[in-house]
């Protein structure tokens, strides 16, 4: 049996899409456009929520933080991916790779917690409407968000320290768009069972728990909606949850496909496509999902766009 080269890796070389060098520039321009739209869309959502008093509600408070986190989340990955595409590969030091993995895990975890909190907010609004104001107070909102950031930091810190306590040896090429866990685990040498167990256990405290919380919240919401006597009332109530369900399905669907599978013999091309969905496409679509399907956001946007015209009139 041939022995694996045990040369210790001190830097990583990202080579995503290198088998198709002619795709480099078109993909670079495409993802650069996506990134600019992501920044403008999410920053616009944050600004709109701050300036319009009608959006100063718990749901939009959480949505504003989701948009802010999506900006940070996308900015952790996309600039590095653009460099890989433009230069047909990019070297990344061990420290930079660990920092990128930490930031990605940190912001992705906060995204999961915020989506779960938004489901809980919809549950209280639909199933406990008389108690909504007393439950979702400003103090409670800040407590929920602080808890999401704190839990995200704890999970990301433990997973990063555990992952980068592994020994990486042999080939240092990562055929991926950033330093993510599945491709990194393929470069490990020696016994990594304990570290992988710790990583999986802390991952359970993020994705599966958030998914269960969302499913339970919407189970109660569906039961409450079915008890509404009028069809118009049921449609109106469900429409307030539709945008959130769309965002949840897109984000968690791609994450579950990527991480709740074995790491052995995964098709790298499929992994790269899925990684683009949850790192590029989801932050891009979230502002449009919440604005196009939400009457309050559309009215606030229309008011903001008409304000310069009104101020310019004599």
Rg (CA), the chain: 22
Per-residue b or e along 78-97, where b marks 16 or more CB atoms closer than 10 Å to that residue's CB: bebbbebbeeebbebebeeb
Q: Which residues pair with 26 in a beta bridge?
A: none
pLDDT at 311: 53
Q: Average pLDDT over the chain, rounded to whole?
A: 81
Q: Looking at the domain 11-292, which fold is it?
A: Rhopdopsin 7-helix transmembrane proteins (1.20.1070)
Provide the strand spans (E) within the chain.
11-14, 90-93, 167-168, 173-174, 188-189
pLDDT at 17 over 60: yes
Q: What number is the average pLDDT over the span 107-119?
A: 92
Greater model confidence, 306 or 148: 148
- Which one, of 188, 197, 209, 116, lies nearest residue 158 by Cα? 197
User: How large a percentage of the chain has pLDDT more than 90?
Assistant: 27
Average pLDDT rounded to a whole number, residues 132-137? 92
Residue 3 confidence class, pLDDT cut points 50, 70, 90: very low
Give me the pLDDT at residue 170, please: 66
Query: Residues 39, 32: contact at Cβ < 8 Å?
Result: no
Span 157-180, average pLDDT: 81
Q: How confident is the model at residue 137 (pLDDT cuts 50, 70, 90)?
A: very high
pLDDT, greater one: 229 or 139: 139
Instruction: With CA atoms as reference, report the closest residue to 31 among 246, 277, 242, 219.
Output: 277
Checking if the pLDDT of 252 tops 90, the result is no
Predicted confidence at residue 267, as pLDDT, reads: 45
Measured CA to CA, the distance from residue 165 to residue 158 in angstroms comes to 11
The answer to which of 27-36, 128-137, 157-166, 233-242 has the lowest mean pLDDT is 233-242
DSSP H or E segment with residue 167 = strand 167-168
Q: Cα–Cα distance between 117 and 114 in angstroms, integer?
A: 5
Between these two residues, 299 and 232, which has the higher pLDDT value?
299
Residue 162 has pLDDT above 80, yes or no: yes
pLDDT in tens, 59-105: 999 999 999 999 999 999 999 888 888 887 788 888 888 999 999 99
Mean pLDDT for the stretch of residues 144-158:
93
Residue with the larger pLDDT of the pair 201 and 248:
248
When mean pLDDT is compared across 242-246, 261-265, 280-284, the lowest value belongs to: 261-265
């Amino acid at each position: 049996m041939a022995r694996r080269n045990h040369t210790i890796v001190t830097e990583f070389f990202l080579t995503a899409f290198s088998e198709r060098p002619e795709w480099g520039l078109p993909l670079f321009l495409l993802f650069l456009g996506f990134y600019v739209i992501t920044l403008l869309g999410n920053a616009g959502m944050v600004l709109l929520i701050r300036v319009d008093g009608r959006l100063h509600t718990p749901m939009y408070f959480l949505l504003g933080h989701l948009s802010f986190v999506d900006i940070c989340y996308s900015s952790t990955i996309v600039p590095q991916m653009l460099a890989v595409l433009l230069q047909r590969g990019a070297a990344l030091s061990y420290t930079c790779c660990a920092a990128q993995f930490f930031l990605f895990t940190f912001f992705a975890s906060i995204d999961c917690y915020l989506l779960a909190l938004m489901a809980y907010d919809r549950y209280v609004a639909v199933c406990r409407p008389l108690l909504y104001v007393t439950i979702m107070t400003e103090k409670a909102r800040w407590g929920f968000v602080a808890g999401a950031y704190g839990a995200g930091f704890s999970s990301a810190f433990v997973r990063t320290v555990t992952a980068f306590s592994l020994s990486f040896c042999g080939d240092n090429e990562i055929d991926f768009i950033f330093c993510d866990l599945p491709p990194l685990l393929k470069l490990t040498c020696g016994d990594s069972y304990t570290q992988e167990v710790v990583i999986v256990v802390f991952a359970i405290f993020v994705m599966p728990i958030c998914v269960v919380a969302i499913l339970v919240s919407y189970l109660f919401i569906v039961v409450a909606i079915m008890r509404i006597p009028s069809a118009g009332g049921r449609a109106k109530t469900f429409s307030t949850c539709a945008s959130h369900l769309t965002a949840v399905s897109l984000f968690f669907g791609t994450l579950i496909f990527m991480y709740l599978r074995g790491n052995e013999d995964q098709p790298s091309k499929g992994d790269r496509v899925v990684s683009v969905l949850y790192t590029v496409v989801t932050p891009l679509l979230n502002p449009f999902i919440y604005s196009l399907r939400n009457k309050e956001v559309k009215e606030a946007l229309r008011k903001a766009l008409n304000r310069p015209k009104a101020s310019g009139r004599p």
